[in-house]
Structure 1
Amino acid sequence: MSLEMKTTELEGSQSPENGFSTEASQELVYNLVQQNQQDVSEVPTDVDHRIPVPAYTSDTFFTTLYNLFKNLTSSRSQTKGEGEGPEVSGPISYYIYHSILVFLYLLMSVYRFYEYTYNRLKLRFLNLAYNPSRTPSLINSDVNKLPKIPYRLSAILNYKSEQEENGGVEGLCNDAAELTAWCLSSGIPNFTIYEYHGILKNHIPELRRSIHRKLVAYFGTSNVPTYQIKIPHLNLSYAGSYDGEYGDSEDKPDIEISLLSVVDGRPTIVELTKVMSQLSKNHELSDKDINMKFIDQELQQLVGPEPDLIVMFQPYLNLQGYPPWHTRLSEMYWEPDNDEVSYAVFLRALQKYSTCKVNIGR
């Protein structure tokens, strides 16, 4: 729909103060951005042509150690340039500095190996200590000890290849379903899943079946909680049912699951900026209406509310293009050297959040 056709929608919505109604302006901007987003294609989900996640490497610690050691011990070309010292002092100084560098690197490698081993053993111990055994009552008892829990929780998941353990689409859906069951058992009503490539958006049937099977395993066949899956980018929603089939329900679900990807981040902000600029240029949107509150309301309609806690199931801090507007006041948690979804990391994230104090303003 063109911008000229939208002009007539604002007729009769003018106010005596600035000539425009804030509600009508917000609705116009939201509809235009939503329509433009429908035309934006997702990141390719084909395994052979997928764009790699920024700053993410699948090399192991030992592979990286071997490659760096190989580069350090490689022979240096014996070229001599102008202004260099005698032929003997050049190789001697090189081997001295080279030996110092190798020693420092080996020292750091030993320390990193110790740190990696310690973190892996700690995670294994925590997984044994915090084992809910698919029992919601045990999870609920762990969470009830905390002074507060997040109302909205978001998790950043990574797609693994089919050859890896718990990899492929099935493994990704299984991780999402497991986290959904933990959120329900903890009393968290809003759950957001961020996956860089948007694979879950293209596999809704598999995700629904996986969630239904997981909820049956946790809560039993006679007491399966209801859920709703939302895709803000496409303005779609799927209601969960007791039998796992597709269907719509007017009742409020026990948990709302939102699916986000890289297109919900900066591309959405850029598209919103273009739409507001064009509307303001055509005098269809007043400059006085464009403020922080207006932008925040539009982004909440396009992407969703800001989460209270973001949990990253990866060995380092990497938001992978997560919507930047939704990370202003969010707490973030990740475990070093962890690359899998586990209940121990989930619970430790809740424990960390319960001790945090959010300061808004000064």
Structure 2
Amino acid sequence: MALLYGLLWRFLLLLVHVNRALVSWLRVRLRSWKGRLWERAVAALLLPLALAGFPDQQKKLNRNPDANANPVTGKRTANRRSRWLSDGRSLEKLPVHIGLLVAEEELSYTDIANLVVWCMAVGISYVSVYDHHGIFRKNNSRMLEEIVRQQQDLLGVEGSKCNVEFLTNGTDEHQRHVVSCRPTVKVLSPEDGKQSIVQAAQQICRSVENKERSSQDISVSMLDILLRESKNIPDPELVVKFGPVDSTLGFLPWHIRLTEFISLPSHRNVSYEDLLGALQQYGTCQQRLGQ
């Protein structure tokens, strides 16, 4: 009998422990449920206020598109621009006008666009792009689109606001342009070389024939003035030639009397360091200027 009472007592104690555990569990669940219910109630009250302020925030973002930009990408772009500008300032001398002469059969618009943007980034004011067959000129829209794309990728939004001009038949014609700023890009072809000299000579001959000028007025300086009026750009101080051909291939023959030429193996897969090396080489060269 005593054994039976002992087992009954233990069974009752077990029921008490189970009851206490069940009550504790129910209390925790009830508190959690009340907490979620309270959070939902607060969220329901605050949601209209949040939605009311959203249009103002959206207007701010629309006024400042860069606010949505990736901060890491923006910082990387700013660092690159700062480095390139610093490189340009560190050079002993920087050309005002640089020519990119491509003496290769296979042309890469992306690589040439990268070179153009890098030249802009270091502080060069005029960049001329030339190939012997005039392919870049014939496809000037594609050339322009690639330059603008690379400006945006490498320099960011602000860097894409640079004027791009194309020469057509020896005259300046703005076929398409972005918001004007200092750097100017000109795409040249053989027509802008020897052909421009022929056109200037014909103009002088017509003026003599029409008795607007006399034959004694004809001089080198007169021809020089006519050619510079048609191009409206300074002479290139540096031309970087890409390819194995040792020739200027008709690149502005009248304007390169004092130009320094530096050769690189190819414009394809060219790097910024390749361009910087050419600029550094130009910065250390001594130009006698006819002396």
The TM-score range, normalised by the shorter chain, is: 0.5 to 0.7
Code of the aligned partner of 2:200: L
Corresponding position of 2:172: 235
Code of the aligned partner of 2:89: N
Greater shift after overlay, 232-241 or 139-148? 232-241
Corresponding position of 1:191: 127
2:273 is aligned, of 328, 335, 344, to: 344
1:334 is aligned, of 260, 263, 272, to: 263
TM superposition shift of 1:349: 1.6
1:300 is aligned, of 204, 207, 228, to: 228
Corresponding position of 2:218: 290
8 Å CA contact 2:116–2:147 kept in 1: the answer is: yes
Code of the aligned partner of 1:346: L
TM superposition shift of 1:180: 1.7
TM superposition shift of 1:355: 1.4
When normalised by structure 1's length, the TM-score is 0.53
TM superposition shift of 1:286: 2.6
Secondary structure of 2:141's partner?
helix
CA 1:309–1:223 in structure 2 vs 1: closer, same or farther (change >3 Å)?
Answer: closer
Residue pairs, 1:27-106, within 5 angstroms: none
Code of the aligned partner of 2:98: L
When normalised by structure 2's length, the TM-score is 0.65
Between the two proteins, the alignment pairs up a number of residues equal to: 212
Q: Would you say 1:147 and 2:130 are equivalent positions? A: no
Secondary structure of 1:358's partner?
coil
8 Å CA contact 1:315–1:339 kept in 2: the answer is: no
Corresponding position of 2:82: 137
Post-superposition CA distance 1:118-173 (Å, at most 9, x none): xxxxxxxxxxxxxx9x9222323333321110011111024644xxxxx5xxx2x2
Corresponding position of 2:143: 207
Give the distance between the partners of 1:174 and 1:339, measured in 2 at CA: 10
Corresponding position of 1:310: 239
Give the distance between the partners of 1:135 and 1:274, measured in 2 at CA: 49
8 Å CA contact 2:102–2:130 kept in 1: the answer is: yes
The Cα RMSD (Å) is 2.6
Decide which structure has the larger Cα Rg and report it. Answer: 2
Corresponding position of 1:92: none
Give the distance between the partners of 1:359 and 1:238, measured in 2 at CA: 39
Higher helix proportion (structure 1 or 2) = 2
Give the distance between the partners of 1:240 and 1:282, measured in 2 at CA: 38
Post-superposition CA distance 1:228-267 (Å, at most 9, x none): 21315253114533xxxxxxx5xx4231111111111122
8 Å CA contact 1:334–1:345 kept in 2: the answer is: no
CA 1:223–1:346 in structure 2 vs 1: closer, same or farther (change >3 Å)?
Answer: closer
Corresponding position of 2:202: 274
Identity across the alignment (%):
27
TM superposition shift of 1:195: 1.4
TM superposition shift of 1:351: 0.9
Give the distance between the partners of 1:202 and 1:316, measured in 2 at CA: 22
Give the distance between the partners of 2:133 and 2:245, measured in 1 at CA: 19
Give the distance between the partners of 1:143 and 1:207, measured in 2 at CA: 25
Give the distance between the partners of 1:327 and 1:138, measured in 2 at CA: 30
Code of the aligned partner of 2:286: K
Post-superposition CA distance 1:299-323 (Å, at most 9, x none): 1122343101011011342211112
TM superposition shift of 1:222: 4.9
Post-superposition CA distance 1:211-232 (Å, at most 9, x none): 1110111122355332221315
8 Å CA contact 1:228–1:253 kept in 2: the answer is: no
Give the distance between the partners of 1:255 and 1:238, measured in 2 at CA: 16
Greater shift after overlay, 318-327 or 201-210? 201-210
Give the distance between the partners of 1:237 and 1:160, measured in 2 at CA: 28
Post-superposition CA distance 1:255-303 (Å, at most 9, x none): 1111111111122212322332232234222334322222111111223
Q: Would you say 1:353 and 2:282 are equivalent positions? A: yes
Secondary structure of 2:157's partner?
coil
